[in-house]
Structure 1
Amino acid sequence: MPALTDDGVGRRIAYYRSVIRPKMTQQQLADAACVALGTVRKIERGERGVTDATLEAIADALGVDPARLRSDRGAAHTRVRAALPALSAAIATYDLPDDGPVRPLRDLRTEVAEAARWRLAAQYTRIVRSLPGLLVELARAFHDAPAEDRAESAGLLVKAYRSADAVAYKFGAQDLSARLVDLMRWAAPEAGDPTLAASVAYVRTETFFAARAHAAGLRALEQALDAAPAPVGASAIAARGALHMRAAVIAGRAHDSAAATSHLDDAREMADQVPEGVYCGTAFGPDSVRTHEVSVAVSLGDVHVGRALDIAREWKPPEGMPAERRSGFYIELARAQLWTGLPDDAFASLKVARHIAPQHTREHPWVREDAAKLRRLKRADAETLTHFAEWCAAT
């Protein structure tokens, strides 16, 4: 990637870092942007240039459009959206990949794990930069794998497809997302791992959310629960518990309060048996179930929304929870606050969500809808709200 000369970029980064609310230290900015602290310091002092990739990561961490940091202030463009065709091309030949080099499984394993960490941290720009080439290489590795490596190669494919799907789904590329889910379902049986199959069923629910086919999605999850491994050991318990969490939310969207409550109770029972953590690519544990309680309350709507506010008064997602899930909590909470006549609180929650995971927040359709409504209500500081609405492209 070409490096931008400083030309005031470092000063603008320092300005936005020091004036946004809440303010950020250089260390916090470095952590949020996944760059070295020394890099941030040198960029702000004008001692080094900054690549487009680093600038976008910093802009996302600051919650500002990259164009505000560039010297030319030109029209912004989304590199993630521009990269989606490359992802599509990478999976077009999943069954007949082009010839090419294949690294050892240990190297591929490391890259797939890194992509999964970026997914949980909502670092979508980083995913699309590395995934197209990795997906092609993983397809080669799978088709050329000796018998003893075939299962692991298939498992790595599934996990990489999941990271790619996170980008496609969050950025509204529903057809690409559905294709990636189908590929996960194709490769998962080759891996021979029941917990991985359960995680694919968890992800598949996205297609039902996108189609608003909530009752059908609930049936699919209940079938997946029937096929899930017995809850013996932390991974199997978490796999089953995550399916119950997902089923509770989609039952809420289907306005089936009895099923939502039942699945939430089952998820809570599973969560009490394992520590909070990431199991087979999905965060699960007591804190994750608590975030889903808010989601279920908002999905059910009406008299249930107050439950989301009750939870938020006594509990907040801990910093150790994946950024995507933490930001999702505040996005859901903002909707509940807006519905109950608390627009200022709703805007505060949206700003927290942006601070935690800018890319996830900016692309969330509820954020756009709620920011547009807040703008029409003319609540909060007009300039601040206007900047936020423009940032997330609210209409």
Structure 2
Amino acid sequence: MPARTKDGVGSRIAYYRSAVRPKMTQQQLAEAACVALGTIRKIERGERGVGDSTLEAIADALGVDPIRLRTDRGPAHTRVHDALPALSAAIAAYDIPDDNPIRPLHELRATIAEAARWRLAAQYTLIVRNLPDLLAELARAYHQASTGRRGELAGLLVKAYRAADAVAYKFGAHDLSARLIELMRWAVPETGDPLLTASVAYVRTETFFAARAHAPGLRALEQALDASPAPDTAPQIAARGALHMRAAVIAGRARDAVAATAHLNEARALADQVAENVYCGTAFGPDTVRIHEVSVAVSLGDEHVGRVIGLARDWRPPKGLPAERRSGFYIELARAQMWFGLADDAFESLKAARRIAPQHTREHPWVREDAATLRRLKRADAESLTNFAEWCAAT
């Protein structure tokens, strides 16, 4: 249902546009949101309503949650949270699908590829809007398929479950995330694809992160490394390198500096053999490993954190990397800057993360913790800090 701008949506959009530093023009907002300039002008003047999809595009361009632009906004609870039960319902019937229509296989492939792009771009609203029906359709296709087609459909199911899991995990629905991961593990053997199996092992680590079971998570990844294919081709090298990269992070959370360093070294050596790219749904390459070096250093703390500050002086993640990866770098960097007492720099890093991937940043627990701390410690620019803290529901 379109939001009525005469009730304040247009003025809110104009306010947040002017609050961007440097100030965003109407033309820049139109380009960033892929909306006509005339439409932006009419919305801000209150001469036309705003559909949900347009409002979400404008909000993403401004780095705010759509709910902050609406006049009927309630508590800090997004449409993504509200849609999670639909995902849960879709997977509850994975083995007893209905008999609704099924699109041709080539259309399903294209839709899954698009869902993967949404995941990498942290477009979680698009995922929850489209995935429940897609999961139900894929379940129908899988159970009705001939034996020869089931392997490919199982692979599509794995990729769809992974896209849904990205939302569940990032939005704190860890039980739902664990169920989706178990369904990935159920479907992947039928694919006969060792690279997809490695990617499922990579994603499974989320359950260990959520439970703070870091030592078992490291063992699971090392078992997956033992089972992964010999790294001869670029996808095989990337699959193995991604597992080492993930193992380094969870070893860092376990404060096991020796294991973390060893796995990082392996990941770095493998990354030097391939171009930066997305392989089997996971970004991997020299830049991605560098981002994970920051994550590991922050997890290990103490003298390791200094390396993060040094790295940030000379390097930023290139724009070609997935948005979720880049925003994660700035979230980790902000935490390191907080530890070094660099409050202004930390706030700039948090704002950079929000500009890149607002939904990912808003739901990250470290962002809320750091924003709340900055709000307590810092008095300058209090209005901007307050707005940011309210945006991410920091307490």
In structure 1, C-alpha distance between the alignment counterparts of 2:160 and 2:241, rounded to whole Å = 23
Contact 1:239/1:279 (<8 A) preserved: yes
Structure 2, unmatched stretches of 5+, are none
In structure 1, C-alpha distance between the alignment counterparts of 2:296 and 2:128, rounded to whole Å = 31
Question: Is 1:3 equivalent to 2:2 in the alignment?
Answer: yes
| 1:246-325 equivalent positions in 2, closer than 5 A | 246-325=246-325
Matching residue of 1:130:
130
In structure 2, C-alpha distance between the alignment counterparts of 1:164 and 1:75, rounded to whole Å = 24
Residue 303 of structure 1, CA deviation: 1.0
Tell me the amino acid that sits aligned with residue 106 of structure 1: H
Question: Is 1:19 equivalent to 2:19 in the alignment?
Answer: yes
Question: Is 1:223 equivalent to 2:213 in the alignment?
Answer: no
| 1:103-122 equivalent positions in 2, closer than 5 A | 103-122=103-122
Matching residue of 1:388:
388
Q: Deviations over 1:222-281 (max 9, x none)?
A: 000111111111111111111111000000011111111111011111111111111111
Residue 217 of structure 1, CA deviation: 0.5
In structure 2, C-alpha distance between the alignment counterparts of 1:255 and 1:301, rounded to whole Å = 8
Distance 1:68 1:255, change over 3 A: closer
Matching residue of 2:236:
236
| 1:1-395 equivalent positions in 2, closer than 5 A | 2-7=1-6, 8-24=8-24, 29=29, 33=33, 35-37=34-36, 40=40, 43-44=43-44, 48-72=48-72, 77-395=77-395
Is the partner of 2:98 in helix, strand or coil?
A: coil
Residue 112 of structure 1, CA deviation: 0.9
In structure 1, C-alpha distance between the alignment counterparts of 2:309 and 2:155, rounded to whole Å = 40
Tell me the amino acid that sits aligned with residue 293 of structure 1: E
Residue 11 of structure 1, CA deviation: 4.5
Contact 1:344/1:379 (<8 A) preserved: no
In structure 2, C-alpha distance between the alignment counterparts of 1:249 and 1:29, rounded to whole Å = 37
Contact 2:308/2:333 (<8 A) preserved: yes
Distance 1:314 1:82, change over 3 A: same
Tell me the amino acid that sits aligned with residue 193 of structure 1: D
Residue 76 of structure 1, CA deviation: 5.4
Count residues in correspondence: 393
Contact 1:169/1:177 (<8 A) preserved: yes
In structure 1, C-alpha distance between the alignment counterparts of 2:118 and 2:368, rounded to whole Å = 23
Is the partner of 1:113 in helix, strand or coil?
A: helix
Distance 1:186 1:67, change over 3 A: closer
Q: Deviations over 1:172-203 (max 9, x none)?
A: 00000000000001111111111111111110
Contact 1:57/1:125 (<8 A) preserved: no
Is the partner of 1:3 in helix, strand or coil?
A: coil
Tell me the amino acid that sits aligned with residue 290 of structure 1: R
In structure 2, C-alpha distance between the alignment counterparts of 1:97 and 1:61, rounded to whole Å = 38
In structure 1, C-alpha distance between the alignment counterparts of 2:391 and 2:316, rounded to whole Å = 25
Residue 356 of structure 1, CA deviation: 0.7
Structure 1, unmatched stretches of 5+, are none
Is the partner of 2:232 in helix, strand or coil?
A: coil
Contact 2:272/2:286 (<8 A) preserved: yes
Contact 1:86/1:132 (<8 A) preserved: yes
Which has the higher mean CA deviation after the structures are superposed, 143-152 or 181-190? Answer: 143-152
Residue 43 of structure 1, CA deviation: 4.2
Contact 2:323/2:357 (<8 A) preserved: yes
Distance 1:31 1:279, change over 3 A: farther
Query: TM-score, normalised on structure 1?
Result: 0.94
Residue 379 of structure 1, CA deviation: 4.4
Contact 2:80/2:128 (<8 A) preserved: yes
Distance 1:227 1:346, change over 3 A: same
Distance 1:269 1:13, change over 3 A: same
Contact 2:67/2:78 (<8 A) preserved: no
Contact 1:26/1:37 (<8 A) preserved: no
In structure 1, C-alpha distance between the alignment counterparts of 2:31 and 2:180, rounded to whole Å = 30
Tell me the amino acid that sits aligned with residue 4 of structure 1: A
Is the partner of 2:347 in helix, strand or coil?
A: helix
In structure 2, C-alpha distance between the alignment counterparts of 1:198 and 1:32, rounded to whole Å = 36
Q: Identity of counterpart residues, as a percentage?
A: 78
In structure 1, C-alpha distance between the alignment counterparts of 2:137 and 2:108, rounded to whole Å = 9
Contact 1:268/1:286 (<8 A) preserved: yes
Residue 13 of structure 1, CA deviation: 2.1
Query: TM-score, normalised on structure 2?
Result: 0.94
In structure 2, C-alpha distance between the alignment counterparts of 1:9 and 1:375, rounded to whole Å = 27
Contact 2:297/2:304 (<8 A) preserved: yes
Residue 341 of structure 1, CA deviation: 1.3
In structure 1, C-alpha distance between the alignment counterparts of 2:83 and 2:323, rounded to whole Å = 23
Contact 2:343/2:378 (<8 A) preserved: no
Residue 15 of structure 1, CA deviation: 3.6
Distance 1:326 1:26, change over 3 A: farther
